[in-house]
């Protein structure tokens, strides 16, 4: 889950500082990134966003070699069916955000 912190320096200068904590593997973080980009476009060229990306690990205990996806997600979400329903939710939000291709794994 991304943690968004937005601070405006001063509106007189039209500067905008945005600090983002994000996990690169998180689909929700990617959806949030794309939504932020769309929102910044709405502000127009008069605002100068300064974006600072910070790393965040959703699962810092994951073995370097990884693990079986079905076993991991069943344990994390309580059941494989729950995991699949969460994937469907992400896909639906991605479609609404015009990000059709972010969920390609099953």
Tell me what pLDDT residue 13 has. Answer: 58
State the pLDDT at residue 105: 47
CA dihedral (19, 39, 34, 7) in degrees, to 10, reads 10
What predicted TM-score, i.e. pTM, was given to this entire model?
0.72
User: What are the boundaries of each domain within the chain?
Assistant: 1-58, 61-100
Q: What are the strands, taking DSSP E only, across the chain?
A: 3-8, 15-22, 48-55
**What's residue 1's pLDDT?**
46
Side-chain half-sphere exposure of 51, counting CA atoms within 13 A: 11
Strand order through the sheet with 15-22 = 3-8, 15-22, 48-55
Residue with tokens 């073995």: 63
pLDDT tens track of the chain, all 106 residues? 445 545 544 444 578 899 999 999 899 999 999 989 888 888 888 888 999 999 999 999 999 999 999 999 999 999 999 999 999 999 999 888 776 555 454 4
């Amino acid at each position: 889950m991304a943690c968004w912190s937005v601070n405006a320096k001063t509106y007189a200068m039209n500067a905008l500082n945005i600090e983002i904590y994000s996990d690169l593997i998180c689909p929700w973080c990617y959806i949030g990134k794309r939504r932020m980009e769309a929102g910044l476009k709405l502000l127009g060229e008069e605002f100068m966003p300064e974006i600072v990306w910070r790393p965040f690990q959703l699962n810092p205990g994951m073995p370097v070699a990884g693990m079986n996806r079905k076993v991991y997600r069943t344990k994390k979400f309580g059941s494989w069916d729950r995991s699949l329903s969460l994937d469907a939710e992400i896909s639906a939000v991605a479609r609404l955000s015009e990000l059709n291709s972010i969920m390609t794994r099953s």
